[in-house]
Amino acid sequence: MNRTSLKSDRIAIVSVMLTFLPLCGSFLPLTAQTKDTGMLTVRVTGARNTKGKIGVTLFQSAQGFPDDTSKAIRQQSVDIDPSTMGAEVTFKNLPQGTFAVSALHDENGNGKMDKNFVGMPKEGYGASNNPKKKKRAPTFDEAKFSLNSSEQAIEITLIY
């Protein structure tokens, strides 16, 4: 082997190292970012029909709970599975901590809870921990739970 060939080989090796070495380092922050995060799966059951969608809203404080989606940290609306009469939503990369979830079966698709003339819900609703039906909306304290693992699942049964 001559000097020119060795020099070319060294340049090629250094080029490869310079190309891939930064990529290897970029995985380290990714691990650190996900160390204290979790994934929450919310199963909503008990829909009375498949009209509309089920909205699932995630709150990290009492502010806005259960129906002010502008105060929520995440919100998803999904179709109802006709075979289970329910829906499932997954929230990823959540910080570990205290949360509460509210669910709404928005049968007419208007994006809000419809109520009758005395203010009682006309559509299905529910919250984490499945608080019993009362003459008021569930509170954050009744619905709160801790997300303290990498994966957690909860189930909400709709109330009509």
Q: Is residue 21 predicted with pLDDT exceeding 60? A: no
Please compute the mean of the pLDDT values over residues 12-22 and round it to a whole number: 42
Continuous segment of H or E residues that includes residue 12: helix 3-34
Contacts of 94 (CB under 8 A, 6+ apart): 37, 38, 39, 40, 58, 74, 147
Q: Name which residue leads in pLDDT, 140 or 12.
A: 140
Q: pLDDT value at position 35?
A: 72
**How far apart are alpha carbons 5 and 18 in whole angstroms?**
20
Q: pLDDT value at position 20?
A: 41
Q: pLDDT value at position 18?
A: 41
Q: pLDDT value at position 19?
A: 42
Displacement of CA 82 from its chain's centroid (Å): 22
Domain 37-157: give its CATH architecture. Sandwich (2.60)
**How far apart are alpha carbons 159 and 157 in whole angstroms?**
7
Q: pLDDT value at position 84?
A: 98
Q: pLDDT value at position 17?
A: 43
Please compute the mean of the pLDDT values over residues 12-32 and round it to a whole number: 40
Q: Is residue 93 predicted with pLDDT exceeding 90? A: yes
Give the global pTM: 0.78
Q: List, for residues 111-144, the tens digit of each pLDDT value.
A: 999 999 999 999 999 999 999 999 999 999 999 9
One-character DSSP codes across 46-99? --S-SSSEEEEEEESSSTTTTT-GGG-SEEEEE--BTTTTBEEEEEEEEESEEE
Q: What are the structural domain ranges in the chain?
A: 1-35, 37-157
Q: Name which residue leads in pLDDT, 20 or 89.
A: 89
Mean residue pLDDT of the chain comes to 86
